[in-house]
Each structure stands twice: as structure tokens, then as C-alpha cells.
Structure 1
Amino acid sequence: MKHVLSYLKPHTWALTRTMIVKFMGSMMDLFIPFILAIIIDDVVPQRQPHLVYLWGGGMALCAGLSVTFNIMANRMAAVTSGKVTLKLRHDLFKKLGELSMAQFDSISLSSAVSRLTTDTYNINQFLNRTQRIGVRAPILLIGGLILTSILDARLTLVLALTLPVIALIVFVVTKKSVPLYDRQQQVLDSMVRVMQENIVGVRVIKALGKTRYEQQRFDDVNKNLAEVGRKAGSVVAASNPLSSLTLNLGLAVVVLVGAYTVNSGLSRPGSIIAFLNYFTIISGAMMGITRIFIMSSKGIASARRIEEVLQMEADQPQLPAHKQQTPWHIAFEDVSFSYNGVENNISNITFRLKQGQTLGIIGATGSGKTTLTNLLLRLYDVTSGTIYIDGQDIRSLDPVTLSDQTGIAFQSDFIMAATIRDNVAYFRDISDEDIWQALRTAQAEEFVRATADGLLHQVESRGNNLSGGQKQRLLIARALANKPRLLILDDASSALDYRTDAALRRDLSQQHQNTTSIIIAQRVSSIKGADQILVLEDGRAIGQGTHDELMRTCDTYRDIAQVQMGARQADVPEQEVG
């Protein structure tokens, strides 16, 4: 909570002004019963109406000022809490973008979404209500006790005896509710994950007729969330009734003692009436403090989750640069990696590529193909071994420099709701001429020109108004648009027909001769002309060489080629891709 509260420091003056205005408004509320007691006990007995009107006008003025000051303070509180939340949400989003993939995986996408939305909202509500009620309630409580002690010290003692009981109730409720709200946010993460999976996979769900199953899955997590919320609510629900019971018992004692003292001539009626008004004010203040502690339970739970992210230290430091003279553009030297730190996902991978050469990677699902690209993009760091780019350890490269020289297209990648131009350029300073050239090489020019608006054609979120092949060609164009030195195509042509795929490979070899390419594919035809082909199985290289070499030496590769192309056709040389 301390880190989140540090965001209030730049707004110290605004908070001070809010407190001053709240203090003035609260004092106006406290003056009203005091003036009432004076009117009843001192002014009315004089039988001078103008004095009653004068003091009554003072009460009305206090009431008007109270409303004005409280409205001003509430608006100021809303502005301050909004600014703090804006900065907090900005920093949280920025931090999430800076995390390594390993750190992001530990948080999970669904949890990141709920932290950015629900948790920051809880912080906003906590800060807003703390400024509004958390300042006003203590002033009314302390001020009420002071003024009631002036009116009647004996009755004030009765009232004061109820406060420790209420404080104990609030402490117990808060202590029990914070862990429950922590759990509630965790279950909310699960519900967000289920919702995301259903939204993204809605077509598959409908196609397989699993709508009822997904409804049941959502109902299960929804019921779990409701149950946790019920438990938290049950604990919190006891706070107000118990506090009200304590205050009402105190009020009953005050009425009895007050009636006795008035009857004995020890107190005056106006003082008792004012005291009862103060009792109501103090009761409201205690209820307000109780609500603040309840809100703080949510705020503390959300602050912990936000601080967990904000205080994560970088686990991918940039190493000191040390460049070696080498003929290789890309080099994997005995690279191994594990996602969970227990079992390697790839083991002892070694290959080297000169500038402009092409590496084809093929293997079964789960063999480690995409893991290699993740390491080459430094989304993760190697467990052992070293990756070199131009003779420099990838861990010593500036991340911006690495991304600027790399073009990447995945099989199912991010397409935003924007124009074709915006999707290809993706906030990079790329001319229309370069965009058209990228579209031409990616075999996307024809369908883009066929649209009414060309580059300004609007694409729906996730490319829902494009075919699978059109989306992949658009993603390949994005990868090519910045003229990268390193091009990575991770099964990026799987939705293309053979003719389009062949045309893509031909244009890549002609237009990007100096681009080092790494092509992951399921088709032998897509990588057949590569300078090197790497065959993966269970994270290990079981074959490495040219197509012709692997046809002779690697049974797995030969089997794949013969099944896909036929033994006779598989041996026919094809246009090289790099």
C-alpha cells in the first residue's frame, strides 16, 4: 500500500485544500446543534422574536455553507483521485509492457486485465471516499465529542464508552475481510480468463457445438466468484448492524440519563436536544469510518496486486557489449531453454547463418520451433548457451535496436481495428511506397487494391472481415515493411495455397536477398530451398543440412517429404528461398 500511496505526493497541495474545505464544511455542521441549544435555552426565554430570527438565520447560513463546502471538497476529491488513478494505471500498463515474457506468464493475461481495470477502480474508490468521508468523519467525531463535553460532560462519557467497542468491531471485520477480498480478485482473474477464451474462440465453440459446455464453465467460475463475494459480504455485513446496535444502546442510555438530569435541574432541555443531534452526527461519523475501513479492505487487496507488478525488478538486464569479429549474422551456440526451469523445452541447439541466408525449421507440434523464435526475439533468455547477432551476445543488444532490425510474422498474430495502412505500418514511419512494396512481396497487393479504399480500407478487430490467407499476407507485409535485416516467419504461410506460397518464396528471394530469414513451416515445399534446414523433435535437432542432404540422412524428414510431396517429386529441385 505504501508504494501506491506515494502517488499522492505530487498532489499534496490539492489534498491539503480538500482537507481545509472539508474541515470548514464539517465545522458548519457541528455549529448547527450548538446554535439550536442556545436558541432553546437562552434566546426563546427572552421572548424576542428578532433574536430567534437572527440566530435561526445563523443556523441557515451554517447549513448553506456546509452544503457548499462539502460539494466543493467532493469535486476536488474526485479530481485528485482521478489524476492519481490515471497515473497509476499508466505506470501499471507501462510496467506490464516492460516485463519479460517469463514475468508476464507468471502474472497471466487475465490477471493483468483485472489489475488494470478492477484493481485500479478499487484504488480510485478508496482514495475518493477516503478524502470525502475519511476526512469529514473524524472531524465530526472529534468535534462532536468536544462540543458535547462542553454541553454535558456526563452524557459525553456515556457516548465515549461506546467508541472502543465500535473500534474493536471495525478491527475484527477489516482483519477478516482483507484476505477474502484478495481471494475475490484471484477468482475474478479466472472469470476474466474464461471470458477472454470464449470471446476469442467463439467460432470454434459454435462450430463444435460446445456453447452449453462453455456456459457451464462460466457458470462454475461465476458461482465461485459469487460465493467468495458472499463470504466477504457476510463478514462486512456484520459491521454496520453491530456498530448501530452499540450506538443505539448508548443513545438509550443517553436519553435515560438526560431525562433524569433535566428532571433534576442539572441539565437544560436545549442541551439535551443538541446532544441528541450530536449523537446522530457522531453515529453517522462512526458509520462513515466503518465504511472507510471496509473500502480499505478492497483497496489494500488491490494495492497489493498492483504493487506486485510495479515492484517487479527487470529479469533481463542488458549485458555489457562485447562484439566479436565473425562471418555469421545469426549464431546459436549450444542453446538450451526451459519455460518452467525443470525440464528443457529445447536442448543443445547449434546453427549459424550468414547475412542473407535462410534457415528452414520443421518438426511436429511441440517440438520447440516457436521457442527458438522466442529466444531469437529475446522474449525469453536462454537457460544455457549463447545466441549471437553479428558476433554480439543478444543479451547485450539494446532491445530497440533488436526490434528495429527484425521483422516477425506469426501464424495467428495481432490485427487491430484500423486501416490496412495502419496495420502494416503499425506506428512506424513507413512511406506508402514501402507499404505497397511490402504488400506486393507478401502477395497481398491484389486483394488490397480490390477494396474500395485501398490502404485506407478498414479492418475489423482480429481481422474478422478478412480471410485466413488475407490476414496472413497482411502480417507478412507488416514484417517486411521496415526492410528488416532478419525476417522470421513462424508458420506464417500455413493458410496460403501452394501457388501463392511459391510466389511468396520467389519474391522474398528476389526482393530481400540480403535479409537473413528463418522460416518455420509444416510444409516441406516452404523450406525446401533453404540454405539450411533444422529438423526438431522433442526440443532436439535430429537433422540439419540442405534438403538433399536430409533426404539422404534424416529418416524423419524424408518421411515427411515423401508423405507431403511423394518420393519422386520430393527429389525435384525447387526455386531457392534464400
Structure 2
Amino acid sequence: MRKIQQSWPTLKRLLAYGSPYRKPLILAIIMLWVAAAAEVCGPILVSYFIDHVVAKGELPLGIVTLLATGFLLLQLLAASLHYFQALLFNRAAVGVVQNLRIDVMDAALRQPLSEFDIQPVGQLISRVTNDTEVIRDLYVTVVSTVLRSVALIGAMLVAMYSLDWRMATIAICIFPAVFLVMAIYQRYSTPIVRRVRSYLADINDGFNEIINGMGVIQQFRQQSRFGKRMSNASWSHYNARMQTLRLEGFLLRPLLSLFSTMVLCGLLMLFGFSAVGSIGVGVLYAFINYLGRLNEPLVELMSQQSILQQALVAGERIFELMDRVQQQYGGDDRPLTSGCIDVDDVSFAYRADKKVLQNISLTVPSRGFVALVGHTGSGKSTLANLLMGYYPLSQGQIRLDGRPLASLSHWVLRQGVAMVQQDPVVLAESVYANVTLGRQIEEQGVWRALETVQLAELVRNFPEGIHTRLGEQGNNLSVGQKQLLAMARVLVQAPQILILDEATANIDSGTEQAIQRALQAIRQRTTLVVIAHRLSTIVDADTILVLHRGQAVEKGSHTQLLAQQGRYYQMFQLQQVGDELAAGQTENPMLIQEPAN
């Protein structure tokens, strides 16, 4: 009972998705009941034929023809109605899965970014694809089968009690035993089915990781290790699936066949010990026929237990994702106008036991240019993510245009603040679609942005120009070209605040200089926040904030920081020496000699 009570909210919520298809489902149910009545009437006609025609030793042609025609028409009617109700149920099921997938995907898109830091991508894919497909089976097979079985069982019970109440009473003794088996099956199958769904999600996650990292796996010859890992996951799924099959094989059909045999023995005993003529041979035939037909819906009802359990577990996984806390935004819809930034005593931690940023304060005036520098892991990208509103602050406050960042709406943040990352995402769409990203921007504006980032000539040489479709993850572009494309996305509709997270790391010096000139131009209307390892690119910054282990250790202009001869000075000197060594080796390749044998 507790299992049913726990599963009922999930089942109720899944069935609620069928409410938009109420009319076709009601029509399908009516068809099921009419079809069940037609199926049940067939044995009644045969019973009448045996007891009232064959028993008298006469075969009137008219009555025989009428009974045969009626029997055939009933079977044709039942078959036709089953066909049309199956179409209605499948149409509703496809619609339900479509709506459910849209809701699941929408919920996944609205998850806080912190969830994606710990949630494997394959798990999300499994919930959107595999789990929703299992729920389709809930409507196509479980709901339709249960309704059909209930209709058929109900019609047969009415027919049996109308023929002989004593034999009908013996026949219904099978139901308590069946319900007991169903309860036992549900108790033991639910945890196994949960493991099956979990192992399937692990398989999807593993395949996603292997495909994305195929280059690294082959480079370091890890095919065997990853193959063994996927083999273990597959065997775990196989073993769990075999457990469900063994459970079904033991509890479902064999036990039901045993119960049916016992009921049949009871019917034969009642017929044998009854007074001659009190129970006709035709009635006995009808009951034997009904018992055989009763087996079919009971077996179907019990076999649907497995699919129902899988659907409930899939529903639990889907609704667990949909019910998670979504990314929170404020309600302030006023657009950003100045682009000024105030960071007041901000601290942040991805995990409660380790702070990534500690007591960071920074003020960037409207149209200002601030640079964030520091060694890897110092917290530069984390601060940029906080400015984007991706994570809630642990302590302190960030204000944009003098308004708390947490109070700004999603539209205001995404319209007013943009970021170009070191490893940009490129969609398997056209160049135009990758630059506009759904925004209503004319082609001329896209071409101007491509000219600015030095990509226009490359795009003109594409077979279809700006409408050429790029490969998966932009695999027909170099890493630097991807960064330029991401830069064009921003420049085509400049925001109030632009964050560059190592956005020129993979670009040659000539193109970088062109982009620097473009950034100088848009500084007239945009506040710049630049994260850079190459310090030569941020010497013109109004303010340079030096981060070390999550703390702001220095702040000032390029000239001021060099005069202090602190951490920034050391970083700059090291890069100068490195650049000189690289330049010297380029001018004189003989400096790179083979080691002596």
C-alpha cells in the first residue's frame, strides 16, 4: 500500500499530461467498451447454437446463417474498433511525449549553472530522450491495455453472471490471487527498475564523454580502459534487466496459468456434480471460452506492471529535474544604460569548505576598461561568471548601473551583459545563425561584424557564403576562427558591458591588433572587462586588478603597478623575457640544436 501511495502522485502527474487529449481518449475508451461487448457476445451466440440448435439435432439453415453472420460481424466490429482506438491512443501518446520533452528541456535550460558543474551531461540527455520514450509506452501500452482489459473483464463478468451465477462465482476466485501477485511484483520490481534506468543513464553519459574526448583517448591509448568501463556499465544494465525478466518469468505467466487451471478444475467439478440439464454444455463451453479469454487480459494487466514501473521511475527522474530550483532572476526590467560596475566585498565558494574569491571590491565607471590578471586558479573567470549572474553570491553585492545584480531580470542581464569565452560554443548551423543566435539582425550588420573580426574574407570563400552550415562544434573552423566568430556575435549588437575571458588567446598577433582597434572603437558605448594572460594586451586598461588565490593583491594602472614592482611587475617581466626568447629562437632557428649523442 505504501508503494502505491508513493507512486500515485507521479502517476497522477503523468496522466495529467493527457488532459489536452481528453476527447480522443474518451472516444477511444468508448470504442474499447463497445469492442469488448462485441467480443463477449460471440461465445454467447455459440452457446445458444450448442444448447438450442445442436442439442435438438436440427440445423435450420436460417438460424445457422443468422448466428454465423452475427458472429462474424461482431468479430469484424471488435477488430475495427481496436484498430481505431489504437490510433487514437498513439496520437495522444506522441503528443504527450512531445509536450513532456518540451517541459523537461525547458527545465534543463533553466537550471542554475552550478547544477551543470556536478550533473553529467549524459544523465540529462537520458532524461530528455530515454525516460520520455518510456512514458510514451505508458500511454500506448499501459493505459490502453489496462482500459481494454478492464472493459473486456467487465463485459465477461456481466456475461458470465447472466449465464450461470455459480460458475461465475468460481471464475472470479482468480482475481484475489492475481492482485496478490501484482502487489508482490510491484514490491520487488521497483528498486530493480530504478537501477535499470540509472545504469542506462550511466551508459549514455559514458558514450557522451567518450565521443567528446575521443582525441585524448586515442592520443593516450586509453581505448581499452574506456572500453572496459563501458562494458562494465553495459553488463550492470544487462544483469539488472535480467533480474526483471526472471521476476516476470516467475511471478507473471506461470502463476497465472496455475490459477487458471485451478479455476477450470472447479468449473468442471461443478458441471460434473450438478444435476443433469441444470448447466448446459453450451454454457460450459462459454465459461471455458471466457476463462481462456480472461487469461489474456489478466496476463496483459500483469505484464504491464513492468512497463508501468519503468514509466513511474522515469517519471520520478523527469519530475525530479523539473522540480529543482531554477536559475533565479529579479524583476527589474529597466535596460542598462551606463554600464558602470560596483563590486562590494564579494566572496564566493563553489563548495562550502573552500572559498574561490575572498572580499573582492572593484569599481568600474561607465565606458571604463578593467583587466583581471593572475595565475591559473586565481579566480578571474569566477569573477566574470559572477558578473554574468551565473552564480549566487556567498557574500557581498554586485551592482550594475547602481542596481543590485540579483534584482535585474533575465532579459536585462542577457541584453546588457555579454561574454566571449576562450572556448566558445559553435552551433551546427549557418554562419548567419551562429552570429545572430535568433536575434533579428540584417545580413549587412552581420557582414560588418565579420569584417571587424577579420572573418569576412574566409566566409566569402565558403560555398554558400554567410549561409554556409558549419560542422558539429564548428569542426571546420580553427580554434582562433571560433573565437573570432564568438567575437562577431557580440560586436553585431554591442552590449553595455562586455567581458572577454581570454578571447584572443588563440588568435595571431595581426588579427589581435585589428580586434584591439575594434574594441577601442566600441569603448565609446561599452564597458570592458578583460581577462588576459598576455599582459601586453591590457596595458591600456584604466584599472588592472591582480588576483592571487582568490584575493585582490594589487590594483592600479599598468604604469602604477610596474612602479610598485610587486606581483604584476614580476608577471610582466617574466612574459617580456619569454617573448624575447621566443623571438630570438624564431630569428635564429640554429639556437635549437639536437642534443649530443
TM-score under structure 1 length normalisation? 0.92
Change (3 A) 1:247 1:567: closer
Match of 2:181 in 1: 169
AA aligned to 1:83 is: G
Q: 1:469 aligns with which of 463, 466, 480?
A: 480
**Cα deviation 1:227-283 (Å, max 9, x = unaligned):** 222333333333323433333432541464266257944422211111111001111
- Assess if the C-alpha contact under 8 Å between 1:159 and 1:250 holds in 2: no
Q: 2:204 aligns with which of 170, 192, 201?
A: 192
Corresponding position: 1:292 with 2:304: yes
| Alpha-carbon shift at residue 58 of structure 1 (Å) | 0.6
Give me the whole-angstrom Cα distance separating, in 2, the residues matched to 1:39 and 1:539: 92
Give me the whole-angstrom Cα distance separating, in 2, the residues matched to 1:242 and 1:506: 80
* Number of residue-to-residue matches in the alignment: 569
Q: 1:405 aligns with which of 399, 403, 416?
A: 416
AA aligned to 1:161 is: C
- Assess if the C-alpha contact under 8 Å between 1:534 and 1:543 holds in 2: yes
Corresponding position: 1:481 with 2:487: no
Give me the whole-angstrom Cα distance separating, in 2, the residues matched to 1:142 and 1:174: 24
AA aligned to 1:557 is: Y
- Assess if the C-alpha contact under 8 Å between 2:332 and 2:409 holds in 1: no
Corresponding position: 1:23 with 2:27: no
- Assess if the C-alpha contact under 8 Å between 2:420 and 2:499 holds in 1: yes
| Alpha-carbon shift at residue 319 of structure 1 (Å) | 5.9
Match of 2:49 in 1: 39
| Alpha-carbon shift at residue 129 of structure 1 (Å) | 1.6
Q: 2:256 aligns with which of 241, 244, 250?
A: 244
- Assess if the C-alpha contact under 8 Å between 1:409 and 1:490 holds in 2: yes
Match of 2:347 in 1: 336
AA aligned to 2:474 is: G
Change (3 A) 1:494 1:232: farther
Match of 1:421 in 2: 432
Match of 1:529 in 2: 540
- Assess if the C-alpha contact under 8 Å between 1:243 and 1:287 holds in 2: no
Match of 1:540 in 2: 551
Give me the whole-angstrom Cα distance separating, in 1, the residues matched to 2:252 and 2:578: 81
Equivalent residue runs for 1:148-297 within 5 Å: 148-254=160-266, 256-257=268-269, 260-261=272-273, 264-297=276-309
| Alpha-carbon shift at residue 526 of structure 1 (Å) | 2.5
Change (3 A) 1:106 1:265: farther
Equivalent residue runs for 1:488-567 within 5 Å: 488-553=499-564, 555-566=566-577
**Cα deviation 1:477-498 (Å, max 9, x = unaligned):** 1122112221111122211123
Give me the whole-angstrom Cα distance separating, in 1, the residues matched to 2:48 and 2:120: 64
Q: Which moved more, 1:248-257 or 1:89-98?
A: 248-257
Match of 2:5 in 1: none
| Alpha-carbon shift at residue 75 of structure 1 (Å) | 0.5
- Assess if the C-alpha contact under 8 Å between 1:359 and 1:532 holds in 2: yes
AA aligned to 2:205 is: R
SS at match of 1:418: coil
- Aligned residues with identical type, % of pairs: 26
CA RMSD for the aligned pairs? 2.5
| Alpha-carbon shift at residue 119 of structure 1 (Å) | 1.2
- Assess if the C-alpha contact under 8 Å between 1:459 and 1:465 holds in 2: yes
AA aligned to 1:154 is: R
- Assess if the C-alpha contact under 8 Å between 1:367 and 1:538 holds in 2: yes
Change (3 A) 1:72 1:334: same
TM-score under structure 2 length normalisation? 0.89
- Assess if the C-alpha contact under 8 Å between 2:422 and 2:501 holds in 1: yes
SS at match of 2:347: strand
- Assess if the C-alpha contact under 8 Å between 1:162 and 1:246 holds in 2: no
Match of 2:393 in 1: 382
| Alpha-carbon shift at residue 59 of structure 1 (Å) | 0.6
Change (3 A) 1:479 1:41: same
Q: 1:442 aligns with which of 453, 460, 482?
A: 453
AA aligned to 1:51 is: I
Give me the whole-angstrom Cα distance separating, in 2, the residues matched to 1:55 and 1:294: 41
Give me the whole-angstrom Cα distance separating, in 1, the residues matched to 2:195 and 2:380: 37
AA aligned to 1:31 is: C
Q: 2:357 aligns with which of 346, 354, 373?
A: 346
| Alpha-carbon shift at residue 472 of structure 1 (Å) | 1.2
Please, which runs of 5 or more residues in structure 1 have no aligned partner? Answer: 571-578
Change (3 A) 1:232 1:251: same
Give me the whole-angstrom Cα distance separating, in 1, the residues matched to 2:339 and 2:260: 83
AA aligned to 2:533 is: Q
Change (3 A) 1:396 1:408: same
| Alpha-carbon shift at residue 450 of structure 1 (Å) | 3.4
Match of 1:89 in 2: 101
- Assess if the C-alpha contact under 8 Å between 2:260 and 2:291 holds in 1: no
Corresponding position: 1:49 with 2:61: yes
Give me the whole-angstrom Cα distance separating, in 1, the residues matched to 2:465 and 2:565: 46
Match of 2:589 in 1: none
Change (3 A) 1:339 1:551: same
| Alpha-carbon shift at residue 425 of structure 1 (Å) | 1.0
Corresponding position: 1:10 with 2:20: yes
- Assess if the C-alpha contact under 8 Å between 2:344 and 2:396 holds in 1: yes
**Cα deviation 1:373-398 (Å, max 9, x = unaligned):** 22111111111111111101111112
| Alpha-carbon shift at residue 365 of structure 1 (Å) | 2.7
Q: Which moved more, 1:233-242 or 1:494-503?
A: 233-242
Corresponding position: 1:135 with 2:147: yes
Give me the whole-angstrom Cα distance separating, in 2, the residues matched to 1:415 and 1:135: 48
Give me the whole-angstrom Cα distance separating, in 1, the residues matched to 2:463 and 2:324: 48
- Assess if the C-alpha contact under 8 Å between 1:360 and 1:530 holds in 2: yes
Match of 1:359 in 2: 370
| Alpha-carbon shift at residue 69 of structure 1 (Å) | 0.5
Give me the whole-angstrom Cα distance separating, in 2, the residues matched to 1:359 and 1:569: 27
Give me the whole-angstrom Cα distance separating, in 1, the residues matched to 2:129 and 2:315: 12
SS at match of 2:312: helix
Q: Which moved more, 1:310-319 or 1:83-92?
A: 310-319
Give me the whole-angstrom Cα distance separating, in 2, the residues matched to 1:493 and 1:551: 23
Q: 1:146 aligns with which of 150, 158, 162?
A: 158
Give me the whole-angstrom Cα distance separating, in 1, the residues matched to 2:268 and 2:39: 26
Match of 2:595 in 1: none
| Alpha-carbon shift at residue 567 of structure 1 (Å) | 8.8
Q: Which moved more, 1:515-524 or 1:19-28?
A: 515-524
Give me the whole-angstrom Cα distance separating, in 2, the residues matched to 1:406 and 1:499: 27
Give me the whole-angstrom Cα distance separating, in 1, the residues matched to 2:95 and 2:240: 31
Give me the whole-angstrom Cα distance separating, in 1, the residues matched to 2:561 and 2:195: 54
| Alpha-carbon shift at residue 522 of structure 1 (Å) | 2.2
Give me the whole-angstrom Cα distance separating, in 2, the residues matched to 1:354 and 1:303: 50
Change (3 A) 1:109 1:252: same
AA aligned to 2:441 is: I
- Assess if the C-alpha contact under 8 Å between 1:247 and 1:283 holds in 2: no
Q: Which moved more, 1:121-130 or 1:522-531?
A: 522-531
Give me the whole-angstrom Cα distance separating, in 2, the residues matched to 1:322 and 1:52: 84
Change (3 A) 1:406 1:169: same
- Assess if the C-alpha contact under 8 Å between 1:321 and 1:393 holds in 2: no
Give me the whole-angstrom Cα distance separating, in 2, the residues matched to 1:360 and 1:287: 70
Give me the whole-angstrom Cα distance separating, in 2, the residues matched to 1:568 and 1:65: 87
